[in-house]
Structure 1
């Protein structure tokens, strides 16, 4: 008897394979009732995700290339990217795809390694684990024929319908984080970032600015170095001397928030980060953080790429928005 495939499960429950994949991997976009129905069908068919010979035989190219940002320090120190790759890997495993990764210490090296994957005929579909303005690697991919790509993050040229992407609503997340601090009793939060050319940081900053305008307040911002924290020594204190009314910090990710936490009396200031990383959970005091579910970002990006490759399916949308959630801990308890 032939082994069951994900398409057999999808046929039994009357759903698209992409929906089945999301249910299998506990996506927050799928209802509990749907997940229960899919699990029952999997049990009935004795289906478990694996690299089956049938899946491999049906695909002329079963490699997905994951392109990491051109900065090894950011990638190696940030669990966000590990969780993204975990999500991508889970979906690829379920569909009989394999992963390869392109990385580099700078744009030139990253572009060279990406070109190598393409020229060797190994990879025709890619997932960008980041989004930045005027990205030379994305521009190169877009210039090539017969290449498919999904961006994790909102594309710089949002009006271009050919760009498939997965993201959170980071403007709303930035606004929600700011409003949360107001609700906790803080009156003048500031925004901490490292690079506003990164769309995700810029969007969170825009959300922060929006919430400040609603309160009739002037926004402020502090730039820190994400790749070499030693260069940040004294910058937070200098900023506070220049902006004595600031009583809380909204950092564009947990690592920046923890850098702030090390430099200030944490019991005096509210501090909030993004990504809900393991570092947020074990810091002292534990860090309030906005969970953007990076594993699910990876899951959804892989589902888009694989559906795009599958000639039996037609995509009905070019984007997926993953929800966010504020995880409250001690760093935002108003004193």
Structure 2
């Protein structure tokens, strides 16, 4: 088995110099670093970061915390794209990504506890922001643990590192898109207003319709019961025949609305839907659905940069909060 001593011998340096070169130390010249990298390639040597973590009590691992949801987050392209963005940055900096998931709060907290106490993970990215979140409160209480939130924090905004879109403005823009096309009765369809992103999008919708002095409507979908959603939507349409525009909280919800309308034999020309994320779901829909592109890969990559800087304590106050732009995409 190849060791760091073998690399050092081939490169013509001491083991300590080889180690510093592998960690890109400023004490080592670029010429020496290149010699060490070449020796590593020739010997097919990869540093054992896990062993280094145990020795240094520092782990080059980012723990990514996914939300507790009734449906599988693996079916949601938004989370997959965010993870792709996180992984790209982590790979470039030799960090490992470890997921923390759970069907219940207790299970998720146990998984996070294992990462902290068994894996020395001190750096986390939350892929959600939620009111009265027991998971976040648990992480806050842990010693020397850093975290970044994808989404707007509910409290301590100024002291919390986060990456987000301006979801209030994005939803206002989406609603005004429908208003400018002649729609005056527009409904906001959501699944959980306890999630900051959905609540902000509702606020943006309300601001847009209030400015025009239009009526506001909202419809609460279940996140995992399609038959229940079908009954809710058809009942709502029957009670509110004047509604002809839909702002959906995300692409899965928007596609569900469209599919229910088609299944029920309702003329799609009467209804226009705008949703968020611009994932493959909005593009394979027939007809395709107008979507607000929120650039989830960029959200993920920026969150990873903040997390790595957080852990290394190199973060400037001015870079703690990053707002990613949005764009309406008409398919």
Match of 2:213 among 210, 213, 216: 216
What is aligned with 1:18? none
Cα distance in 2 for partners of 1:122, 1:72 equals 30
TM-score using structure 1 length: 0.80
What is aligned with 2:304? 302
Query: Contact 2:290–2:328 at 8 Å: present in 1 too?
Result: yes
Cα distance in 1 for partners of 2:69, 2:77 equals 14
Question: SS in structure 1 opposite 2:187?
Answer: strand
| Residues 72-87 of structure 1: pairs in structure 2 closer than 5 A | 73-87=71-85
Is it true that 1:178 corresponds to 2:166 in the alignment?
no
Question: SS in structure 2 opposite 1:187?
Answer: coil
* Residue 312 to residue 161, structure 1, CA distance change in 2 (3 Å): closer
Cα distance in 2 for partners of 1:76, 1:65 equals 17
Query: Contact 1:308–1:315 at 8 Å: present in 2 too?
Result: no
* Residue 287 to residue 312, structure 1, CA distance change in 2 (3 Å): closer
Match of 2:101 among 81, 100, 103: 103
TM-score using structure 2 length: 0.81
Larger Rg, first or second structure (1 or 2)? 2
- 1:97-151 per-residue CA deviation (whole Å, 9 max, x = no partner) reads 0010000112221112111211214310100011110110001011112000001
Query: Contact 1:6–1:94 at 8 Å: present in 2 too?
Result: no
Cα distance in 2 for partners of 1:319, 1:271 equals 31
What is aligned with 1:272? 274
What is aligned with 2:246? 249
Cα distance in 1 for partners of 2:249, 2:257 equals 12
* Residue 277 to residue 140, structure 1, CA distance change in 2 (3 Å): same
- Report the Cα offset of residue 201 of structure 1: 0.2
Cα distance in 1 for partners of 2:83, 2:144 equals 24
What stretches of structure 2 of length at least 5 have no aligned partner?
1-10, 12-17, 27-44, 262-266
What stretches of structure 1 of length at least 5 have no aligned partner?
9-50, 330-335
* Residue 230 to residue 141, structure 1, CA distance change in 2 (3 Å): same
- Report the Cα offset of residue 185 of structure 1: 2.0
- 1:14-71 per-residue CA deviation (whole Å, 9 max, x = no partner) reads xxxxxxxxxxxxxxxxxxxxxxxxxxxxxxxxxxxxx975999798310100000112
Cα distance in 2 for partners of 1:229, 1:198 equals 20
Cα distance in 2 for partners of 1:312, 1:322 equals 21
- Report the Cα offset of residue 91 of structure 1: 0.5
Question: SS in structure 1 opposite 2:62?
Answer: strand
- 1:190-211 per-residue CA deviation (whole Å, 9 max, x = no partner) reads 1000000000000000000000
- Report the Cα offset of residue 316 of structure 1: 3.0
Question: SS in structure 2 opposite 1:220?
Answer: strand
Superposition RMSD on alpha carbons, in Å?
A: 2.6
